[in-house]
Amino acid sequence: MAAHEEFFSGISKIPYQPDAGAADVMCFKYYNADEVLRGRKMEEWLRFSVCYWHSFCGTGADPFGFQTLHRPWNEGTPMEAAKKRLRVAFEFFTKLGVKYYTFHDRDMAPEGSTLQESNKNLDEMTDLALQLQNQTGIKVLWVTCNLFAHPRYMNGAATNPDCHVLAYAGAQVKKGLEIAKKLGAENFVFWGGREGFLSIHNTDVAAELKHMANFFKMAVKYKEKIGLKCQFLIEPKPKEPCRHQYDYDAMSVIGFLKHYGLQDHFKLNIEPNHTTLAGHSYEHDIVMASAFGMLGSVDANTGSPDLGWDTDQFPMDIKNTTLVMKTIIEQGGLQPGGLNFDAKVRRESTDLVDLFIAHIGAMDAFARGLRNAVRIMDDGIMTGMVMERYSSFSHGLGHKVDNGSATLEEMEDFVIQNGEPEVKSGKQEKYESIFNHYI
């Protein structure tokens, strides 16, 4: 396929049509990339990214059934198919109007029979990716290494009981960092695919955690050595594939990073489907990571909590997107991170156009969430109510508690002087009703 050849020939650049009808799903009704809200373009608040693995390598296979998605770009030798797939992907990104994409080393280029051969394939594929990036202006949000699919990683990568396997993972990450630099990736993600355990009987947890921390330290050192300027991210997930994953949720990862002195080198890439698998609400880990100054990026998807699997669905729930965007605005944005659609069309959604419909719907859900969050914040009703709720910490004894200078003796004196506190209503339903007004 030559560079100028069009693959999705019946589809042109997706327009913004705020007045389009309900059945028109091939346009944005809320996402207007250049519109400025709270001092920033929508595209800058949202920083959308398409993930390469689900959208261009996904086949629809699941643990119970075979391939259902027969993509016409999978033709020829593995390298020929990889090149065609990449060109198709760039046409898709351009028509959709996203500025970023994400990929694993092994979905960009097929694995060879030796490390050297895999690296050669990656060199060839990333030459083409760089050319396409320069032609289109599309950039890499993040690169990651697939340290979980190959059988060698069945007992883990950085936490493997055999150092030979750990070394293979290290060699793979070394190359991953080099291609991140070559392609100007803005972030680099570590998802601990098989970093965890299925049985405690055969596992030395303390050793595995220390090895994983030392593995990250090697990555930090090499990043600095080659002058790679991107943000490192860890993506928490509580289960699947292991019974226990070390990077269980945001707070587990923050604790791990602080314990091993890695907190200044990493932030978190939060995936809400993983958050709900951990038994938390959709927005929970985004809020927690942000509260610790550690929210770096979001894998914008959703699960079906009633199923309890990692279903990687496209995020379409406006309440959720509103809560997420409110948190993102409050922390001043997500840059250099973004909203990466780590989501796959259902194996029953077999038309090629479903790939567009899914991304457009999810982008619009987040654009609508952004608009809602902006209105909530501009009106200031809820913010004002929360401020009032905590107002006793703005003066006197409360101010001293807030800045850490108060003592228990002062608490006692205060209560002796002021007696029993007047207990105030938490007003949960009032907050919920006001929130519903905006969505």
Q: Which residues bind ligand XUL (CB under 6 A)?
A: 104, 144, 189, 191, 235, 237, 271, 299, 310, 342
Residue closest to ligand XUL (Cβ): 191
Structure tokens at 68: 């259902």
* Binding partner at 178 among ligand XUL, Co ion, none, C-beta below 5 to 8 Å by kind: none
State which of positions 269-298 bind Co ion (CB under 5 A).
Answer: 271
Structure tokens at 143: 């690169």
Distances from the Cα of 12 to the Cαs of 6, 26, 71, in angstroms? 10, 10, 20
Alpha carbons 151 and 22: distance in angstroms, whole number: 47
Name the phi and psi angles at 49, rounded to 5: -140, 140
Are the beta carbons of 270 and 280 closer than 8 angstroms?
Answer: no
Nearest approach, Cβ of 242 to ligand XUL (angstroms)? 12
Q: How many CB atoms lie within 10 A of CB 356?
A: 19
Element at 257 (helix H, strand E): helix 250-259
Half-sphere exposure (CA, 13 Å, Cβ side) for 129?
29
Element at 189 (helix H, strand E): strand 187-191
DSSP letter (8 states) at residue 162: S
Distance of CA 81 to the CA centre of its chain: 27
Nearest to 234 by CA among 200, 197, 193, 196: 193
Nearest approach, Cβ of 174 to ligand XUL (angstroms)? 18
Q: Which of 49, 144 has the CB closer to ligand XUL?
A: 144
Nearest approach, Cβ of 271 to ligand XUL (angstroms)? 5
Nearest approach, Cβ of 4 to Co ion (angstroms)? 33
- Number of helices and strands (H, E) in the chain? 16, 12
Q: Helix 250-259 vs helix 284-291: angle between axes, to the nearest 10 degrees?
A: 30
* Binding partner at 237 among Co ion, ligand XUL, none, C-beta below 5 to 8 Å by kind: ligand XUL
Nearest approach, Cβ of 412 to ligand XUL (angstroms)? 50
Structure tokens at 397: 């004894």
* Binding partner at 83 among Co ion, ligand XUL, none, C-beta below 5 to 8 Å by kind: none
Q: Which of 170, 272 has the CB closer to ligand XUL?
A: 272
Nearest approach, Cβ of 102 to ligand XUL (angstroms)? 8
Nearest approach, Cβ of 299 to Co ion (angstroms)? 4
Beta bridge partners of residue 139, listed in sequence order = 100
Nearest approach, Cβ of 156 to ligand XUL (angstroms)? 15
> Which residue's structure tokens are 């390298």?
79
Structure tokens at 391: 């107002």
What is the 3 state secondary structure string of 208-244?
HHHHHHHHHHHHHHHHHHCCCCCEEEEECCCCCCCCE
Alpha carbons 143 and 168: distance in angstroms, whole number: 18
Q: Which of 195, 235 has the CB closer to ligand XUL?
A: 235
Q: Which of 186, 299, 310, 364 binds Co ion (CB under 5 A)?
A: 299
Number of residues that bind Co ion (CB under 5 A): 3
Q: Is 54 considered catalytic here? A: no
Q: Which of 91, 107 has the CB closer to Co ion?
A: 107
Contact window for Co ion (CB under 5 A) among 86-94, 250-258, 264-272, 348-356: 264-272
Distances from the Cα of 365 to the Cαs of 72, 323, 338, 358, 389, in angstroms? 29, 12, 15, 11, 31
Q: Which of 78, 241 has the CB closer to ligand XUL?
A: 241
Q: Which of 270, 373 has the CB closer to ligand XUL?
A: 270
State which of positions 315-344 bind Co ion (CB under 5 A).
Answer: 342
* Binding partner at 144 among Co ion, ligand XUL, none, C-beta below 5 to 8 Å by kind: ligand XUL
* Binding partner at 208 among Co ion, ligand XUL, none, C-beta below 5 to 8 Å by kind: none
Q: How many CB atoms lie within 10 A of CB 102?
A: 25
Q: Which of 91, 342 has the CB closer to Co ion?
A: 342
Is residue 247 within the footprint of Co ion (CB under 5 A)?
A: no
Catalytic one of 54, 104, 274, 359: 104
Q: Which of 186, 299 has the CB closer to ligand XUL?
A: 299
Beta bridge partners of residue 191, listed in sequence order = 235
DSSP letter (8 states) at residue 196: E
Q: Which residues here bind Co ion, judged by CB under 5 A? A: 271, 299, 342
Catalytic residues: 104
